[in-house]
Amino acid sequence: MQDKVKVVIVGGGSAGWMTASFLSKALADGVDISLIQSANIKTVGVGEATFSDIHLFFEFLGLHEEDWMPECNASYKVAIRFVDWNAERRNFYHPFQRFELVQGWRIVEWWLKLKKDNVPADYACFTVPKICDAQRSPRYLDGRIFDSKLDGHLGPSENGDKALLLEDLHLQYPYAYHFDASLLSQFLSGYAKKRGVREIIDEVVDVRLTEDGSIRSIHTKEHGQIEGDLYIDCTGFRGLLINQALKEPFISFSESLPCDSALAMQVPSDRKKEGINPFTTATALSAGWAWNIPLFHRIGTGYVYSSAFLSREAAEEEFRQHLGARADGCNALHIKMRVGRNRNSWVKNCVAIGLSSGFVEPLQSTGIFFIHHGIEQLVNYFPGKRFDEANIKSYNRVIGNCIDGVREFLTLHYVASSREDTRFWKATKNELVVPDELAERLKLWERRLPTDRTINPNYHGFPGFSYCVMLLGLGRQPKYSLPALDHASDRHALAAFDQIGKRTEHLLSTLPSLYEYLTFRYGEGEPTLYRDGTKDKGVAA
């Protein structure tokens, strides 16, 4: 048996402990993992919302929701609600559901043709928006997911093909999570240490290199010299290893993504009185946008803004006005964001994971996703004790393409928004650098809705339906519907819209509220009476 590969992770937080947990499970007895964590450096802790791929992380670790959710004050997320992002100030949702197929075409194409009852696309094509409005849980109290055997093709096609179920379409999970990132780090540290990860609480005082520029050792204040074969930089925006020691250049995205600052708050909530929203909220403000992430025990909130248009003091004043009395007595944590990515996330024998690798605005909850994606790819490209340049180059291409793809998707949020009422929102139309390929796609999307084949082709976590939802919600609607639909019967489409409406009403009448579900699951009492006067624990009729 070969000697174990010594892995040294520098930095804790979500990135460090997610990496330690995943590697300790994936590589089992083949690695010796140490994690160096400072007692004096606090994690940023603003990445508390996720999207649905995070299920794969917990499933791989063998963790069930009942294992970790109560420990992390976690809740469910089925969508993002965008508030005031268009000139009309119409709110809209970006759900985890995908569009159904009717006669081989996505139902949103039929919506564009029929404009049925002038209902917005998100409400016409999905069940999720009304579930969000009613604060419903995505699970019944007996554990079943609300669309686990539904939401495939709605009815037979013209040629009689069998209707497909959710599983057959390989759809995303219908929900993700909100959680306290600090508590998740603590939980995963316990998981990792049980699997043999060595935690070192100490301060890094020096990083020493070999003649070829690789890292030879990490020197700490109390534990002295620590050597490894592979070093993983999880030190956040500092980039202690990748940028400071190895001098890897950082590529800024400021030309396309204008917000470079944030302030974050933890504010109280009365979950019994207010309920718990099963969605993240992104509210456009004068020089950026505010997030609202409802956890079981509190709300995580903050303001992402451009310092070119708003001072730190003015941003906090505007944000406190936005929150109202809820912000009284709450401290604001101000953060200078480094938006962009390293030219390479893997250099020599060092791999950067998390904020030290790359970061975009948290507009679509991609912070945890970048960590998870970076770890999975590291396992796929794991070097052992030999470092192959072709292997490293391929890893860097995959990671770079992913982050660049998210950059393109988020740039769309600003340039496609019809809002132009402040200096900031005017600048998003006139001053941002739009990547050439995105500019070309935008011209196409003036005539046709995006599809999986017309968006950025590199994997970045967002399929074509996400682009459709955002463009329509932001105020960009194609001039034409698909010409082919003029030669097809509307009958099945009209029936599909009707089925979505009926399915929505059924879910609203049978699903428990998210507060009821979490209270029941967390063992704080029996659920309240349901609308039919029973305590049937949310079992569907």
Residues with catalytic function: 77
231 exposure class (CB count in 10 Å sphere: 0-12, 13-18, 19+): buried
Q: Sheet of 350-352: strands edge to edge?
A: 198-201, 31-37, 5-10, 230-233, 350-352, 346-347
Question: CB of 155 within 8 A of CB of 496?
Answer: yes
CA distance 414 to 256: 9
CA distance 11 to 386: 24
Torsion of CA 364, 369, 374, 380, to 10 degrees: -130
Angle between helices 13-26 and 367-380 in degrees, nearest 10: 30
Quick one: which H or E segment has residue 494?
helix 491-510
CA distance 443 to 478: 10
Q: Which two tokens stand for residue 227?
A: 């050597």
Torsion of CA 359, 360, 362, 363, to 10 degrees: -160
CA distance 303 to 133: 23
Give rounded-to-5 percent helix, strand, coil for the chain.
40, 20, 40
Which one, of 75, 14, 41, 78, lies nearest residue 374 by Cα?
14
Which one, of 232, 235, 182, 226, lies nearest residue 24 by Cα?
232
Which one, of 58, 60, 66, 9, lies nearest residue 36 by Cα?
9
Identity (one letter) of the amino acid at 396? N
CA distance 450 to 375: 30
Transcribe 342-396 into DSSP letters. Answer: ES-SEETTEEE-GGGTEE--GGG--HHHHHHHHHHHHHHT--TT---HHHHHHHH
